[in-house]
Amino acid sequence: MKENPYDNDKFFAKYSQMPRSVQGLEGAGEWETLQSLLPDFKGKRLLDLGCGYGWHCAYAMEHGAFSAAGVDISHRMLEVAQEKTKQWDQVKYYCCAMEDISFPAESFDIALSSLAFHYVENFSPLIHKIYSVLKPGGTLIFSVEHPVFTASGSQDWYYDSEGKILHFPVDNYYYEGKRSAVFLGESITKYHRTLTTYLNTVLTAGFTLQNIVEPQPPAHMMDIPGMKDEMRRPMMLIVKCIKAAE
Ligand SMILES: C[S@@+](CC[C@H](N)C(=O)[O-])C[C@H]1O[C@@H](n2cnc3c(N)ncnc32)[C@H](O)[C@@H]1O
């Protein structure tokens, strides 16, 4: 079953307080890296899967995109997105699971997904669908929680008796599937996949890999409490790939 934790009152309230919700893209540790890999949006049709507050739809429109379609399973996230991008008639939102999208073939130039694919159980059919809705030469760029981060499930450090970080657990790496993670103090379902699965799935669908990055926090964010610990293990993975031009 597709879960929808972002519509849960308590979770939504906590998510709304995160720096990435308050400050937007500038508050997201991976943004500088993702931004440096983005294709030119001028005149392009964007599909944003798991668009949340619509920050990336807004960014695309500010950078000359022709249109942006944001898909999200949470109507509460989309209410915020709608408000943030109301100045553009060419931004449309669809409240549905990304696995269920049914856009005509070759409708988009760019498909982007930021930190949402790890909520999807069946990755391969989704990637095949994205391949078909992209035009030849189109780009798929996505960030996900890194397989090292999702493997053991708890997504928390191991601490000593004084609460000092010892290390980050990586366990059950090759057992893909459902994990019960604690995110913002709430138990939430995510799906773990190996690095091989992420990369081979896009290759099998027909994409060519263009970039793979494990983003590190930018130097100017290092003073934020806890940020230096983000250098101890990868938390995110960014993949950029291209559908062959005809
Ligand atoms: C961590 S937030 C990221 C939001 C946005 N992409 C960003 O980077 O600011 C994950 C988003 O994915 C959405 N989501 C989770 N599972 C989904 C699914 N199966 N289909 C569509 N959206 C989903 C959630 O509702 C949430 O808005």
CA 204 to centroid of ligand 1, rounded, Å: 24
Q: Residue 29 has what pLDDT? A: 84
State which of 49, 95, 119 you would mutate to test the pocket of ligand 1, scoring each by most atoms of that ligand within 8 A of its C-beta. Answer: 119
Residue in the structure block whose two tokens are 């290759």: 203
Pocket of ligand 1 (CB under 6 A): 2, 6, 20, 50-53, 55, 71-74, 77, 97-99, 114-116, 119-120
Burial 43-69 (b: 16+ CB within 10 A, else e): ebbbbbbbbbbbbbbbbbbeeebebbb
Asked if 52 contacts 77 with a C-beta cutoff of 8 angstroms, the reply is: yes
- The Cα–Cα gap between 98 and 226 comes to 32
The mean per-residue pLDDT over the stretch 125-150 comes to 98
Kindly give the number of the ligand 1 atom that is closest to the alpha carbon of 2.
19
Q: Residue 24 has what pLDDT? A: 87
Asked if 110 contacts 139 with a C-beta cutoff of 8 angstroms, the reply is: yes
Structure tokens at 96: 């549905």
By three-state DSSP, how is residue 40 classified? coil
**Tell me: the pLDDT tens digits for 69-118?**
999 999 999 999 999 999 999 999 999 999 999 999 999 999 999 999 99
Within 8 A by CB and 6+ apart from 109, the residues are 44, 45, 46, 134, 135, 137, 138, 139
CA 118 to centroid of ligand 1, rounded, Å: 9
CA 161 to centroid of ligand 1, rounded, Å: 36
Average pLDDT, the chain: 95
Q: What is the CATH topology of the domain spanning 97-243?
A: Rossmann fold (3.40.50)
Of 177, 178, 216, give the one whose Cα is nearest residue 197.
Answer: 177
For ligand 1, atom 27, name the residue with the nearest CA.
52
Residue type, 222: M
Q: How wide is the angle at C-alpha 125 spanned by C-alphas 48 and 189, nearest 5°?
A: 70
Taken in order 43, 203, 53, 236, the sign of the CA dihedral is negative
pLDDT band at 21 (very low <50, low <70, confident <90, very high): confident
Q: Residue 141 has what pLDDT? A: 98
For ligand 1, atom 14, name the residue with the nearest CA.
50
Instruction: Report the Cα 49 to chain-centroid distance in Å.
Output: 8
Whether the pLDDT of residue 242 is over 90: the answer is: yes
pLDDT band at 149 (very low <50, low <70, confident <90, very high): very high
CA 210 to centroid of ligand 1, rounded, Å: 24
DSSP state letter for 8:
S
How do the domains of the chain map onto residue ranges?
97-243
Q: Residue 185 has what pLDDT? A: 85
